[in-house]
Structure 1
Amino acid sequence: MTNQSKCDSDKLLTRKEVSEFFKVDISTVHNWTKKGKLKAYGIANRVYYKESELKRALTEI
């Protein structure tokens, strides 16, 4: 994997974008985060998720 493609896959997504990515409600994203299925990152009172970790979680869920 090149540095550029790794950088692209570490794109940060909002909760809304994550819910659209998985085609679930935002409350489901919240529940998955609380249960530890998804890892959230807080930046300036906002919550983000790494796209690369979401793709990995797809195979784990």
Structure 2
Amino acid sequence: MLIATQLLAVQDILAADNGRRVAAGETPDEVYPDAVAATEHAFRMVERGLGDLLRRPGDSTSST
């Protein structure tokens, strides 16, 4: 439940920021590159915070 809450919170914050920028007059096309970068950064941070918690046994993929 904690992981789902973290993921939803990140999604909500990103969506709110995008909405705020569009409401302030930026076009979706202008917001898009920053939105993609912010999303990748945010979910990398979540992934690093979770570490190996969700790793399947035998999965040698590194989270770093």
Structures share fold, TM-score greater than 0.5: no
Judging by fraction of residues, say which structure has more helix: 2
Q: Which structure has the greater CA radius of gyration?
A: 2
- Given the two structures, how large is their TM-score scaled by the length of structure 1? 0.31
Higher RCO (CA-CA < 8 Å; seq separation 6+)? 1
